[in-house]
Chains A and B, each alone.
Chain A
Amino acid sequence: MRRQIPLLLTAIVGFVYIIQFFIPHRPFNIFEHLFTDWFLIIAACAIWLGVLNLLKLSLEKVYKRGKDWPYSVVTVAGFLLITIAGFFFSGGRQFQNPGTPFDYIYVNIFTPLSATMFALLAFFVASASYRAFRARTREATLLLLAGFFVMLGRVPVGDLITQWLPVGYRLSNLTDWIMNVPQTAGQRAIMIGIALGIMSTSLRVILGIERTITGGE
């Protein structure tokens, strides 16, 4: 019972989405609309689950005075700060409007932190590429050259050092060509491969061949 019902549920929902694509009429379109709303509600609960789990773990750490527990206090405080501002002091459904306390926290705390966190990756990527990029084989050389030309062609200095070449043959043009032709070709092969992989996996899940979602093997 604990295994069969989830499998049945997966199959019904999956088939409804597939059938409504080919028969976009009643009752399938109604079911599809309803299931999409249900999906969003359950997905919201899944996000809540993740957040509540984070809080549970943080509070447990504080309670047990685990390693670096004061930082867990900061996590909980940050959560409470934006949550209380969003639920009680930001005008309900207009919580994201400019000027609300929620928006203030978003603009002055969340945005700088997230933007800097992602910007930091520039250094790590540069450091990793310095270690990993060695033109030892033909494939590695191609990887290195493509990356090098794309990076150099995207900044003004790229065109500056190829200024002696006629317009249309400078580094930025080479970069555009790499991005539009060989890169697009490789990307298409990857996308088609991914699509076929996802389609076959989806079918396995819907038909109940793939059962790991129910906790079994």
Chain B
Amino acid sequence: MDSVFSNTLAAILTIGIISFLYKDNPLYKFCESLFIGVSAGYWFVQQYYANLLPKLFDNLGITRLLGAENVADGALQNLFVRGQWDENLLYLIAGILGVMMLLRLVPQIGWMSRWPMAFIVGSIAGLYFITYFQSNAMRQMQNTILPLNSFNNLVLIVGTVTGIIYFYFSKEHKGAFGGAARVGIYFLMVTFGASFGYTVMSRMSLLIGRLDFLFGTWLGLVK
């Protein structure tokens, strides 16, 4: 009985979204609004339990302070009960920055959110500088250094080098350089076409999954 109700609920919501193919209608708008609300709520809860609770409240000892029994003492307990300095107290700074981020909701003091924003931007800049240098730049170049002993290797090297030449805008694309850039465009077009086809197929498989749910799991017409 429970699964019949669950499946019917999921089926109505699926049909509601698909109904947009006919035209924009109240059922679609209802499902769309519900999706936005539920997604927002999902991330709200998920971020609390995945990051805020273990990394901020547990480390500081706020969870323990509020009466949780299966959690170890935090920085506040160590400082005020045992009189010991606990390096987890540094998480207080993250907590303050987090609150400053939320202050963006108050227009008068919204400028304070620039500090946590600066922290986020700095972290991403530093982290991406390293990870992209390592995985995208160096690793890809390393994998392109191949012996010229097969047609495929030749295509890979020519495609990668000419593709990079196309992205080099400091020199005008003329003569041999322009010719190489032109070949690069051809490779990029094949890449975009293949990526497009691949994306379409992944969306199709999602669609087949939903139709399988409707006609198989829900209605039982497909075995």
Whether A157 sits at the interface, judged by CB under 8 Å, is: no
Total count of chain A residues near the partner, CB < 8 A: 126
The answer to whether A185 touches B163 (Cβ under 8 A) is yes
Cα distance, A183 to B162, chains bound together (Å): 13
The answer to whether A9 touches B206 (Cβ under 8 A) is no
Q: What string of 1s and 0s marks CB contacts (under 8 Å) between A174-185 and chain B?
A: 000111111111
Residue of A38, A71, A107, A116 touching B93 (CB-CB under 8 A): A38
Q: What string of 1s and 0s marks CB contacts (under 8 Å) between B24-37 and chain A?
A: 00000111111111
Residue of B14, B102, B191 touching A190 (CB-CB under 8 A): B191
Whether B17 sits at the interface, judged by CB under 8 Å, is: yes
Cα distance, A93 to B50, chains bound together (Å): 9
Residues of A within 8 A of B43 (CB): 47, 51
From B21, B36, B43, residue with most partner A Cβ within 10 Å: B36
- SS of B interface (majority): helix
Cα distance, A148 to B200, chains bound together (Å): 10
Least Cβ–Cβ distance between A10 and chain B, in angstroms:
4
Whether A126 sits at the interface, judged by CB under 8 Å, is: yes
Whether A23 sits at the interface, judged by CB under 8 Å, is: no
Whether A160 sits at the interface, judged by CB under 8 Å, is: no
Residues of B within 8 A of A2 (CB): 111, 114
The answer to whether B207 touches A49 (Cβ under 8 A) is no
Whether A188 sits at the interface, judged by CB under 8 Å, is: yes
The answer to whether B36 touches A78 (Cβ under 8 A) is yes
Cα distance, A112 to B97, chains bound together (Å): 36
Sampled A-B contacts (23; CB under 8 Å): A6-B115, A6-B118, A16-B126, A42-B116, A42-B119, A45-B101, A75-B40, A80-B37, A87-B48, A92-B49, A112-B13, A112-B213, A113-B13, A116-B210, A117-B35, A122-B204, A129-B200, A146-B189, A183-B195, A189-B167, A192-B141, A202-B129, A215-B111
Additional 6 contacts, C-beta under 8 A, given A7-B118, A37-B55: A43-B47, A49-B104, A182-B191, A189-B159, A191-B136, A203-B129
Chain A interface residues toward B at CB < 8 A = 2, 5-7, 9-18, 21, 34-56, 68, 71-72, 74-83, 86-87, 92-93, 95-96, 102, 104-123, 125-126, 129, 138-140, 142-151, 154-155, 177-196, 198-199, 201-203, 205-206, 213-215
